[in-house]
Amino acid sequence: MKEKIWAEAERLFWQHGVRSVTMEDIARQLGISKKTIYQHFDDKEDILCQIMQSKVDADVAELNCIADVTLNPIEEMMGMLQMICKKQEHVNPCLFTDVQRYYSRAYQLIRQHVDNHIMKQVVNNILRGKRDGIYRDDINPRVMARIRVEQIELALSTDFTSFDEGSRLDIQRDLTHHFVRGMLTEKGFAIYNEYKND
């Protein structure tokens, strides 16, 4: 039963955002009582935290796989972009904003993931790109990685995306390409041109 509750809560959160979904909504969709839900979870944020932890674990595995199988740092960045777009495609834009504003424990899981995994991967990507002569020597990997993380979060923000006519996925793609192009050497541009339409 716990897995069914979890799966239904995830579906509802992804479709409607977290704040607008109640325990009553989850129970109604499953044809069970709220009491049954509370036998498995402390509250809505407990459900959300368990879902987020599972997503973080899956993201870490996927990021590691992308880093292991890509031929160069540009391909790795494009792989990360595809991963982000795939995950954003079926998520209500309110989800991230809801978590950030109202669910501090769940947001803390996301922050730890960003700081411990995404930042590290982007820093390693930049170091690899500099070593391979694909990225410019004069860039600071930690500063650039922080900028990249902020770009990803900016594209998730409902405040930002409401100003633009394009989709969140288009914004994410534009920001990624802008970021990568700013780091490239001449050698890097030659490689980038093979991937720029991804």
Question: How much is the pLDDT for 91?
Answer: 85
Dump pLDDT digits (tens) for 30-40: 999 999 999 99
Averaged confidence pLDDT in the chain: 91
pTM of the full predicted structure?
A: 0.85
> Where do we find the tokens 């839900």?
37
d(CA 172, CA 6): 28
Dump pLDDT digits (tens) for 165-190: 567 778 888 889 999 999 999 999 99
Question: How much is the pLDDT for 159?
Answer: 65
Question: How much is the pLDDT for 77?
Answer: 93
Average pLDDT over residues 11-35: 95
User: How would residue 197 be classed by pLDDT, with cut points 50, 70 and 90?
Assistant: low
Average pLDDT over residues 98-103: 94
Report the CATH fold assignment for 49-195: Tetracycline Repressor; domain 2 (1.10.357)
Q: Residue 76 above 90 pLDDT?
A: yes
Cβ-defined contacts of 40-49 (< 8 Å, 24+): 40/1, 40/2, 40/5, 41/2, 41/5, 44/9, 44/18, 45/103, 45/105, 45/106, 47/5, 47/6, 47/9, 48/9, 48/13, 48/18, 48/99, 48/103, 48/106, 49/103, 49/105, 49/106, 49/109
Dump pLDDT digits (tens) for 106-142: 999 999 999 989 999 999 999 999 999 999 999 999 9
User: How would residue 196 be classed by pLDDT, with cut points 50, 70 and 90?
Assistant: confident
Dump pLDDT digits (tens) for 80-96: 989 988 888 788 888 98
Question: How much is the pLDDT for 41?
Answer: 96
